[in-house]
Amino acid sequence: MSAIKKYFKEQCQVRMCGLEHANPSEFYLSVWQTNRSATPLFVLRLILFLGSLAIVLASSILYIQSGIYGFWFIYLTHWGLTANVAATGFAALVSARSFFYGPTRTKHQLPWYVMTYWILYNIAAPVAFLITLFYWTVLFEAGVEEELNYGLDVAVHGLNSVVMFVLVVTSAQPTRLLHMYHPLGFSLVFFLFTLFYYLAGGVDVKQNPFVYSVLDWRHAGTTVGVGVLTGFLLVFLYLVTMLLSLGRDAIAKKFVKPSVYVNEELPLRQPTAEQTQTGV
């Protein structure tokens, strides 16, 4: 109990709202590694990025072929898919930077691309879980069809969570409690978008005056209630993501030799003459 109390006491400090971190290597090395090579995670993240990009392209192409591409942008699912592509893309970028140029030489102040990745990671994982859960329970039962192909429907509302689950369990960076405002802010922006979309006379593919039938602003009270309940669900799923990270770290600490996190100042390889001259 004292360990749990200590953990939450540390997590609830105001400084934890920021994006400072003492171990930059945790953003490009996996907890499951026994060496300092950035290659394994770089390759995996590149695969996750290409997979996420392929799903988005497949979905977009079907919408274009059907002549309804403008509607692609109104759905939370597609916002979440875009977050997936951005998160896995920046994850691959962070790993690529270390693969080609060596460790990130910094203390606490992370480079902008690492901080961007961290924010996108905090958003994309719980939002992906929310989309999968919300679609296959509430929206699917309500007859909502966002995709024009059943196989793609499964990929968009299932593989999205698989991709983010793999990204979470193979990473090493922490999931901070107070970073919960990242996914909540993202979901609030979408919620407000549905309101402004309705006020502007927007409709869905079937010409209904809403994005989702459960977010029908003609019944504002019910819509706000659904929004609040969804917010609580997102908080829960963010906590699940945090528990996944803690469980990942605990298991890795027990079974993997702690030889990965060594001196950040030592390069992964000898720099080239050009890199030495330019100071990269």
Higher-scoring residue by pLDDT: 244, 146: 244
Under the banding of pLDDT at 50, 70 and 90, the label for residue 144 is low
Give me the number of domains the chain comprises: 1
Distances (CA, A) of 209 to 12, 100, 195, 212: 42, 50, 11, 9
Average pLDDT over residues 33-57: 93
**Count of residues in the chain:** 280
Query: What's the pLDDT at 219?
Result: 96
Distances (CA, A) of 41 to 49, 78, 167, 210: 12, 26, 9, 41
Higher-scoring residue by pLDDT: 125, 144: 125
For residue 219, tell me if it sits in a domain.
Answer: yes
Tokens, residue 107: 């203390």
For residue 140, tell me if it sits in a domain.
Answer: yes
pLDDT single digits (tens) 146-204: 666 777 888 888 899 999 999 999 999 999 999 999 999 999 999 999 999 999 999 99
For residue 180, tell me if it sits in a domain.
Answer: yes
**Cα distance between residue 235 and residue 238, in whole Å:** 5
Secondary structure of residue 21 in the 3-state scheme: strand
Query: What's the pLDDT at 261?
Result: 46
For residue 1, tell me if it sits in a domain.
Answer: no
For residue 69, tell me if it sits in a domain.
Answer: yes
Closest CA to 63 of 125, 156, 161: 156
**Cα distance between residue 177 and residue 246, in whole Å:** 11
For residue 16, tell me if it sits in a domain.
Answer: no
